[in-house]
Amino acid sequence: MSTPIRSSGRRRLQPSSRAGNPIRRAPNSGASASSISSNDSEHFLPMSNIMNNNSSNVQASPERSRQHLARNLLAIACLWPLLFLIIPPPTADPAHMAILSAGMSDTMIGVSDSNSSSKSFTNKFQSIKKRAHDKIDNIRAVTSRRVNLAAKTQFLREEMSTLLRRKDIVGYGPDRPRVAVVVVVPQPSNGNNVGRRAKGGGEGDEESRILKGALDAVQSVFLTTDRNRIFIVTVVMDGRGKVGTFEAKLDDIDAGRTMHRHGGEVHTHDHHHELEGEQKEGEGHYHSEKIHTLYNHEGMGVSASRKEAVHFINVLSRKHEQAGIKSPEEDLILLFLSVDSRLKEFDDDNRTWLDDVTDALILSPSIEQNQDISNKFPSVAKKDSKVDTKTKDGTMQPSNAVSFAVDTSSSDTEGNVEIHSSHVGVTLSFDQKLRPRPSSATGQQLALSNGESYPTPLTQSATALRLRTYNAFPASDEALTSHYSADLELSFNLWMCADGIDVLASSYARVVVDPVILSSSEKDISGPLAARIVSAWMSGHGDDVYADKILRAVAERSAQDSILGMTKDHSMSDRKLLVDKIKVLNDMLVRISSEAKHSSSFPTGLGQKCRPFSWYAQNVHPQNDFHEEEDVNDAKKKAWMNGPTTKEEGATDENNLPSKPLNEENMAIISKASPLNIKYVDASGGHAEHPHKGATDENGKYGYVHDETFLVKNPPTFEIKDEKDRGVLCKKGDPNYQMLTKKVFVDLPNHEAAEKRAEHGLAKKGRAKIFCLVYTIEKNHHTIPAIKETWGKKCDGFMVASTKTDRELGTVNIPHEGPEEYNNIWQKVRSMWSYVYDNYYEKYDWFHIGGDDLYLIVENLRLYLESEEIQLASNGGQYLPNGSEETQTPLFLGRRFAEGGSMERIFISGGSGYTMNKATLKTLVVDGLPKCRPHMHTFSEDVMVANCLRQRNILPYDTKDEAGGERYMPFAPGHHLNYHPPANPKDDWYSNYSINCKWGIDHCAAKSVAFHYIKGDLMRRMYAILYHYC
């Protein structure tokens, strides 16, 4: 019995190819090209070795002479095209250029065809070629032996290296690397079934499904990847020796006898006929071996098998570099492909998944200079990004990864297969028990790259990353045996020790997963493996709270599974049995977690090398609430918040009946929230800590209180400067102009009528007072004058929260916890709302927040907030308020998005801002902010606010008008005019997140209140059009 490839220290590849040894066949030599076919540039070095070895052993016998003559002819056929690299021809002969651009095997065939029409010569030449290839394959199998070139072949080696450096011919290097694929073939859940069919045979047993899935996975690599860019496909047979039929089918794939992609063509070959001289048109080339098989006779598990495969790839890569047939700057792309997945085929001759992945992992200088990398690849958008240094040609190589989008397949009883495509924004995460669960990217994550890519907490069935990224990982626990546990560690390495994981939404990086191939044990994590993960990644940095929480949750799950058959009357004895079982299992997991630290392959020192798990939980995986919220119905807390009430519960004014009731959906929304006493209570804690520390003046001194009425007192005048300015502002015909003239308008008549009623005391109460809050940073202060000149002066209170206090501009520096960066807007918003509550709560009725690219139509907003519908909703939905109420139903208004298309996770888009009444602001600041992830750093403040309010039963209100038009717009007017969803709305994140929307000109309400992405001249232009300056 052969020894499996499992050893400690530096390992050498075994040269023997006998059955049972780790190396099944000679590894790929790899130096293939787009314009020189892969096979012959790969053969060149071994061929020179053949010539060197044999030229010194020539014998005088006729047979030896014939062999010597054949080898010399072969050498001449191989060498003469390279002369064109040194001595250019006197004329540009197209035949010469064709020979140069073809592979060496193609060159030899071309020589025989052009210089002799004799069939005997052709057959003789093919016989020589076959013997040469046989000799090449034997030599290439000895990959661990150093290649010592003699002096007379050194020149040939240098010329070959020069050829490989010519990107116009080969195309490799740092910006177009090849791919090394790893496919681990796991043992069946019943290990005794390895290598043979279950009783009854057929394709239904687990072993057969796994082997068939592995073949389909490997085949898909060759169908979807240009063979020239495949460095090696390493198949690891875990817990197995050779499986005859499986090996034969791998040989067919490797030899090109199955469909494969070569350049832009997908075809197949029959090598038997080719070697006999019966070549077919288009098949006149030889394929080098690209598949290498490792055998682990004793099962090692997925993590260890991947590690062995990558070790082999590293050794092979170094050998190629030592031989001068691989540039050291070519950092191979590593693809982990699960046996239940196959790369999806697309009808495109010019582009493959590898091109899309290369663009994501290797950032060219043009991308770096002309685009915001953080926008293109959200996972890299972190302050402490671990982007590698630039290569010599200026390319950037971030240490991120691409997780392929996952479609699934299913088959009926007749064998018909159906593919179910996944939707944009689908990701994978895990629950508190570390079990995998589907999740969704947030709207802001999708908007950051216009839906092109988005981060995912966990990798899925296929993951691509750079080889050097994998080699730099500090953690590689060989005890993680299942696919899911290995992927969990891979994901933690990528997020906590590198630059994260992206899914490329609209790319060819997709796989089709057959969910019946792998057993549930491969797609889940056991208690002991969970304990190892917890012990490695959740120790130090205050992560113990996560470790305790997860271990207990895992123990509860295990206990429930083990007592699944008990009676379900929930008697005291059953519950006691469950509690006792949980305690026993929890103690066991704690012990395993502690003992794991002393095992040989256990990762150590992650606390010094990587980010803490708390960072991951708060920034990458915020959907999983690891901390239990306190009961929001706690009587003492509720009494403290509400204070004393003077109105008897249930008292109503029969004269305040509405003209029509709220619609059913909105009535259901407000019914979940409890009325709140809106009397101010001090939540500042003496302004000692964030988020209540307050603002600083120009000199950095705390205690500054901004005059929010400065703009109302001294409103700037809007002016069209000159005819050139008029031409810019009043340009007609574009989509923005059309939407603002054909649909959206400012309801000035009703606004002026309401102003007169309030002025003459004809209204029950004065007009709604609105506080407008804009957030920005100092470098964007140039955007504020346009806001002040247009819509800002129409707010009753106006303030710009920034990083510098400027009284004239109206900006206020409000410090907050953590750094001032995009990825920390949540902390900025926490401090902003706390400052507003502490200083302005009692003066205003409504509070609206948005960024410095927000445009607010204040007249329309005020009329909407004063409408019977909103007044009715704020009073509980049954009666209109009479103006003396001390309680109020919380209202949370804005453009609703269903996160990932889920109506259970609705939030309000922060782009056009959101509007809160007093009850909502008080709930958020007094009760919510102290407990809703108070120390988390993230950009998704709109999702965080919605989650916090949802936990308190305050849900986003549907703000559509009577015609179904949206009032709050996440984009500019013209965008909404032209946008129409795809045939399947779930294929685009915006239509998928939108809720019961109309499209085109009917998308926007006539009396819209807010638009987003209004920058530069567009803000002044909207004002000029809406208020009839044009």
Sorted by sequence, the CB contacts under 8 Å of residue 626 that are 6+ apart come out as 432, 545, 546, 549, 550, 617
Hey, which residues does 777 pair with through a beta bridge? none
pLDDT greater at residue 541 or residue 798: 798
Check pLDDT > 80 for residue 355.
yes
> Does position 54 have pLDDT exceeding 70, yes or no?
no
Report, as an integer, the average pLDDT of 747-764: 83
Give how far Cα 629 sits from Cα of 626, 632, 927, Å. 9, 8, 11
- pLDDT (mean) for 828-847: 96
Query: Of 524-533, 886-895, 987-996, which range is least confident?
Result: 524-533
On the question of pLDDT at 920 being above 50, the answer is yes
Of the given ranges (201-205, 495-499, 598-602, 661-665), which has the lowest mean pLDDT?
A: 201-205
Reported for 714-719, long-range contacts at CB under 8 A and 24+ positions apart, including other chains, are 715/788, 715/793, 716/785, 716/788, 716/789, 716/793, 717/789, 718/789, 718/790, 718/1020, 718/1023, 718/1024, 718/1027, 718/1029
Q: Which has more confidence, 987 or 27?
A: 987
pLDDT of residue 617: 87
Length of the chain: 1030
Closest CA to 764 of 866, 663, 690, 896: 866
- The pLDDT score that the predictor gives to residue 575 is 59
> What pLDDT, on the 0 to 100 scale, is given for residue 648?
41
**By mean pLDDT, which of 126-140, 209-223, 336-350, 495-509 is the weakest?**
126-140
Q: Over 50: is that where the pLDDT of 501 sits?
A: yes
Q: For residue 294, what pLDDT is reported? A: 93
Higher pLDDT, 70 or 755: 755
**pLDDT of 23 above 50:** no
What is the average pLDDT value for the chain, to the nearest integer?
77
Q: Render the burial of 730-750: b for 16+ CB within 10 Å, e for the rest.
A: eeeeebbbbbbeebbbbbeee
Q: Copy the structure tokens of residue 952.
A: 């308190």
Query: In terms of pLDDT, which residue wins out, 180 or 762?
Result: 180
* Least confident stretch, 621-625, 662-666, 732-736, 917-921: 621-625
In which band, very low, low, confident or very high, does the pLDDT at 426 lie, cut at 50, 70 and 90?
Answer: confident
Q: Mean pLDDT over residues 840-844, rounded?
A: 96
Residue 793: what pLDDT? 96
pLDDT at 77: 54
Helix (H), strand (E) at residue 602: none
- Single-letter residue type at 991: S
Distance, in Å, from the CA atom of 333 to the CA atom of 465, rounded to the nearest integer, reads 6
* Region 297-309 average pLDDT: 92
**Distance separating alpha carbons of residues 47 and 57, to the nearest angstrom:** 16
Three-state SS at 604 = coil
| 754 within 8 A of 865, measured Cβ to Cβ | no
Task: Report the distance separating Cα 433 and Cα 439, nearest Å.
Answer: 15
The pLDDT of 813-820, averaged and rounded, is 93
Tell me which of 388 and 579 has the higher pLDDT: 579
Q: Give yes or no for a contact between 969 and 976, defined as CB atoms under 8 angstroms apart.
A: yes
Helix/strand/coil (H/E/C) assignment for every residue in 727-767: HHHCCCCCHHHHHHHHCCCCCHHHHHHHHHHHHCCCCCCCC
Does 493 score more than 50 pLDDT? yes
pTM listed for this prediction: 0.56
pLDDT value, residue 2? 38
Is there a contact between 466 and 399 (Cβ–Cβ < 8 Å)? yes
Cα 425 to Cα 985: distance, rounded to the nearest angstrom? 13
Exposure letters 818-854 (e unless 16+ CB within 10 A, then b): eeeeebbbbbbbbbbbbbbbbbbbeebbbbbbbbbbb
Res. 510: pLDDT tops 90: yes
The residue assigned the tokens 């969803």 is: 981
The DSSP string of 12-24 is -------TTSS--
Range in 223-237, 619-633, 748-762, 900-914 with the lowest mean pLDDT: 619-633
Mean pLDDT (whole number) for 253-265: 87
Looking at residue 344, what is its pLDDT? 92
pLDDT value for 473: 92
Start-to-end CA distance of the chain, whole Å, equals 89
pLDDT of residue 557: 77
Task: Indicate the pLDDT class of residue 126, thresholds 50, 70 and 90.
Answer: low
Residue 553: what pLDDT?
A: 84
Instruction: Please write down the HEC assignment for all residues of 147-158.
Output: CCCCHHHHHHHH
Alpha helices in 903-987 (DSSP H): 918-922, 941-950, 973-978
Helices in 597-645 by DSSP H: which ranges?
A: 606-609, 613-619, 635-642
Residues 289-304, mean pLDDT to the nearest whole number: 91
> Which residues of 412-521 form beta strands (DSSP E)?
417-420, 426-430, 436-440, 453-455, 462-466, 501-504, 510-513
Pairing, β 501-504 against β 401-403: parallel
What Å distances lie between residue 346 and 101, 225, 265, CA to CA? Answer: 27, 11, 13
pLDDT band at 527 (very low <50, low <70, confident <90, very high): confident
Stretch among 174-183, 378-387, 493-502 having the lowest mean pLDDT: 378-387
Percent pLDDT > 70 in the chain is: 71
What's the rounded mean pLDDT across residues 650-656? 54
Phi-psi region of 195 (alpha: psi -120 to 50; beta: other; left: phi over 0): left
Residue 450 scores a pLDDT above 60: yes
Instruction: Find which of 51-55, 123-127, 187-191, 330-334 is predicted with most confidence, using mean pLDDT.
Output: 330-334
Looking at residue 134, its pLDDT comes to 58
Range of 443-447, 454-458, 833-837 with top mean pLDDT: 833-837
Q: What is the DSSP letter of 237?
A: E
- Calculate mean pLDDT across residues 272-288: 51
pLDDT at 543: 77
Is the pLDDT at 44 greater than 60, yes or no? no
Mean pLDDT over 364-368 rounds to 44
Q: What is the pLDDT of residue 834?
A: 96
